[in-house]
Amino acid sequence: MAVKYLEEYKIFKLDTAHTSYCIGIADVEGFLGHIYYGKKVGDEDLNYLLRTCEPPFVPFRNNRDRTSFYDQFPFEYSGNGLGDYRESSIIVRTPEGGCGVLPLFESYEILEKKPKLQGLPATFDNDGKALVLHCGDPALGLKVDLIYGVFEEADAITRSVIVRNDGEKPLWLEKIYSVCMDMEDRGYEMLTLHGSWARERQMDFRSLGYGKQSVGSLRGETSHQEHPFLALLERGADRERDGGQDRGEVYGLQLVYSGNFLAQVEKTQMNTLRVVMGIHPEGFCWKLQPGESFTAPEAILTFSDQGLDGMTRSFHQVIRKHLIRGPYRNRKRPILINNWEATYFDFNTEKLLKIAECAAGLGIEMLVMDDGWFGHRNDDSSSLGDWKVNEEKLPGGLSALAEGVNRLGMKLGIWLEPEMISPDSELYRAHPDWAIRLPEREPALCRCQYVLDLSRREVRDYVFESVCAVLHSANIEYVKWDMNRQLSDLGSAELPADRAGELYHRYVLGVYELQERLLAEFPELLLENCSGGGARFDAGMLYYSPQIWCSDDTDAIERLKIQEGTALLYPLSAMGAHVSACPNHAVGRVTPFETRGFVALAGTFGYELDVTRLSEEERAQIPEQIRLYHRYNDLVREGEYYRIASYQRNHEYDCYMVVSRNRREALVTYVQVLNRPNYRSRVIRLKGLDPAKRYLVEGLKHLEGRRIGGDALMNAGLTIPGMWGDFRGMLIHMTAE
Handedness of CA 71, 77, 78, 79 (dihedral sign): negative
Rounded to the nearest 10°, the torsion over CA 251, 252, 255, 259 is 110
Residue 233's alpha-carbon distances to 236, 303, 359, in angstroms, are 8, 10, 46
Contact between 165 and 271 under an 8 Å Cβ cutoff? The reply is: no
CB 589 within 8 A of CB 557: yes
Alpha-helical (H) ranges within 106-163 are none
Going from the C-alpha of 604 to that of each of 253, 499, 560, 594, 632, the distances in angstroms are 25, 41, 15, 17, 12
Pairing of strands 336-338, 606-608: parallel
Active site includes 482? yes
**From 182, 242, 453, 482, active-site residue:** 482
Residue 562 near residue 200, CB atoms below 8 Å: yes
* Residues contacting residue 704 through CB under 8 Å, at least 6 positions apart: 697, 698
Give CA torsion, residues 218, 222, 224, 225, to 10 deg: 50
Asked if 687 and 714 count as a contact pair (C-beta separation under 8 A), the reply is yes
What Cα–Cα distance (Å) separates residue 710 from each residue in 233, 661, 664?
Answer: 28, 15, 10
Q: Angle at the Cα of 163 (from 158 to 168), degrees rounded to 5? A: 170
Task: Name the E strands within 9-113.
Answer: 11-15, 19-26, 31-39, 90-93, 104-111
Q: How far does Cα 482 stand from its chain's mean position? A: 16
Distances (CA, A) of 192 to 189, 247, 320, 372, 668: 10, 18, 22, 36, 26
Q: Give the list of residues 6+ apart from residue 219 with CB closer than 8 angstroms, or none.
A: 225, 260, 486, 487, 535
**Cis peptide, bond prior to residue 327, ω within 30 of zero:** no
Biggest alpha carbon–alpha carbon distance for the chain: 84
Q: How many degrees, rounded to 5, is the angle at CA 36 between CA 32 and CA 39? A: 155
| 654 classed as catalytic | no
CA distance 373 to 535: 24
Residue in 145, 552, 555, 610 annotated catalytic: 552
Catalytic residues: 482, 552
